[in-house]
Amino acid sequence: MFIKSKKGQTAMEYLMTYGWAILAVLVIGGVLYYLGIFSPGTLVGESKTGFSQVDVDQWAIQGGDNISMVVMNRAGETVNIETIYITADGSTESTDIGETVNTGQKTTLTTPAGLPNSYAQGEAYRLDVSIQFNYSSSGLVKNSSGRLTGTV
């Protein structure tokens, strides 16, 4: 007497079950991608790292290619802010400032030279900022550097 094996049917049911599960994951992933869930702009929050004696307290990108920064003098004495260098995606722009800031005070700086790149609304950015300054008493030139990230 010959007994038929049902191994083929079991294997096919196993593959079909996993096939439907994989298809469901792909459809859900496609819908999430379409809704912009995986867009880098939605994943990046505003953050600041670095900076020392001259600290960036607040900042905003305006018009997609200009940045305004509120900087605070934490150096313990009066400083002269000379130049701001901003690097994004390998390109650097510099803006001469020439502003004196007393210890503990804040001032708003704008970069009329613009940013190395232009950013659209909702686009993520990462800017490496270096603020060149000198101490009023000694004239020693120093840099305060850091990184600003966020979305426009």
Residue 117 DSSP code: S
**2 within domain boundaries:** no
Cβ neighbours around 51 below 10 Å, total: 20
Could you tell me if 75 and 100 are in contact, meaning their C-beta atoms sit under 8 angstroms apart? no
Averaged pLDDT for residues 11-15: 83
Q: Are 128 and 94 in the same domain?
A: yes
For the chain, what percentages of helix, strand and coil (3-state, to nearest 5) are there?
A: 20, 45, 35
Report if residue 51 sits inside a domain. Answer: yes
Confidence of residue 43 (pLDDT cuts 50, 70, 90): low
Computed over every residue of the chain, the mean pLDDT equals 84
Question: How many distinct structural domains can be found in the chain?
Answer: 2
Residue 56 — very low, low, confident or very high, per pLDDT cuts 50/70/90? very high
pLDDT of 42 reads 57
Q: Are residues 49 and 28 in the same domain?
A: no
- Say whether both 28 and 48 belong to one domain: no
Containing structural domain, residue 144: 44-151
List the end-to-end C-alpha distance of the chain, in Å, as a whole number: 77
Question: Residue 105: how many CA atoms within 13 Å on its side-chain side?
Answer: 13
pLDDT per residue as tens digits for the range 61-105: 877 678 889 999 998 899 999 999 988 888 888 888 889 999 999
Residue 1 lies in a domain: no
pLDDT > 90: what percent of the chain? 37
